[in-house]
Structure 1
Amino acid sequence: MPVSTTLTAMGIDDIDAISRFTISRHHDHEVLKVYFERPADSCLPASLKFRFPCDNHSEVQATLQQVRAELEQILEQRQPDPRMAIVQNLEQLEQVMEDKMAELKRRLAELPD
């Protein structure tokens, strides 16, 4: 994987764990959210959020464009098998459902008779 200087400068060292990213506008900021693939028992964050002011400061906009280009390049090189992506989505959904069921059962057991 190529070295990503802008992402590294932002504190993102494990570029191999990046799964996707979004850029959205909130009031006077562009918000970059970078998502990671992490093991279930990981204490590392599943995502990181960065804010870029929307003013016409060319250095800020250039940095955002550089970050976007680096992220697109990283993700483009990985083109996952579409079936694997569906399997991963199903596994994530199953885990969420199992966790929710366990929580509801626990709450039910805690209710007085």
Structure 2
Amino acid sequence: MSEYPTLNKMGVTSVDNVDRYTLRHQGDIDVLKIYYKRPKGSFLSRTKKFSFVSGRKAIPLEARSSKAFDSIVDFSPQLASALKELKCLDAKRKESDPIDPKQKFISDLDHLEKVMTEKMDDIRRQINELK
């Protein structure tokens, strides 16, 4: 039996390679994105994205515009279970391999610089194609 049954049902079988995850809301959909550590040149995907319909549709329309609506969190049960397993996985990883905050910031900055450079190069290429 797996230690992470919800993640396994979702197709996340290489839990040891999970690097991090993000959760964002797009209208009535919650989007969970899982990032993997992959060796350079690997053909395996670096991310997996999962969408869950949130339960906010069941709330009366009048209540949706109130300030109290913003504090309502109604995740799908599968999403709540997946987040719990990801937090557990994250806690285990931090115990076995503590991350230096300075190194994490430097790594994040390097990644951001790479993404921005690639995006700027792409925009320049598109501009040059317009001539």
**TM-score interval, smaller chain:** 0.5 to 0.7
Q: Is 1:72 aligned with 2:87?
A: yes
Q: Which amino acid aligns with 2:21?
A: R
Gaps of 5+ in 1: none
Query: Per the alignment, do residues 42 and 95 of structure 1 end up closer, same or farther by CA in structure 2, a change over 3 Å counting?
Result: farther
Structure 1 window deviating more from structure 2 (34-43 vs 5-14): it is 34-43
Q: Which has the higher contact order (CA 8 A, sep 6+)?
A: 1
Alignment root-mean-square deviation, CA: 2.9
Q: Is 1:3 aligned with 2:22?
A: no
Query: Per the alignment, do residues 52 and 45 of structure 1 end up closer, same or farther by CA in structure 2, a change over 3 Å counting?
Result: farther
Deviation at 1:65, TM superposition (A): 3.1
Q: Look up the match of 2:13.
A: 13
* Alpha-carbon distance between aligned partners in 1 of 2:23 and 2:52, rounded to the nearest angstrom: 12
Deviation at 1:9, TM superposition (A): 0.8
Contact 2:24 2:31 in 1 (8 A): yes
Count of matched residue positions in the alignment of Structure 1 and Structure 2: 104
Q: Look up the match of 1:50.
A: 51
Greater than 4 Å deviation, 4+ residue runs: 38-43
* Alpha-carbon distance between aligned partners in 1 of 2:92 and 2:16, rounded to the nearest angstrom: 11
Deviation at 1:64, TM superposition (A): 3.4
Alignment map for 1:16-95 (pairs within 5 Å): 16-18=16-18, 19-22=20-23, 24=25, 26-27=27-28, 29=29, 31-39=30-38, 44-54=45-55, 61=77, 63-79=78-94, 80-95=99-114
Contact 1:38 1:46 in 2 (8 A): no
SS in 1 for 2:116: helix
Deviation at 1:32, TM superposition (A): 4.4
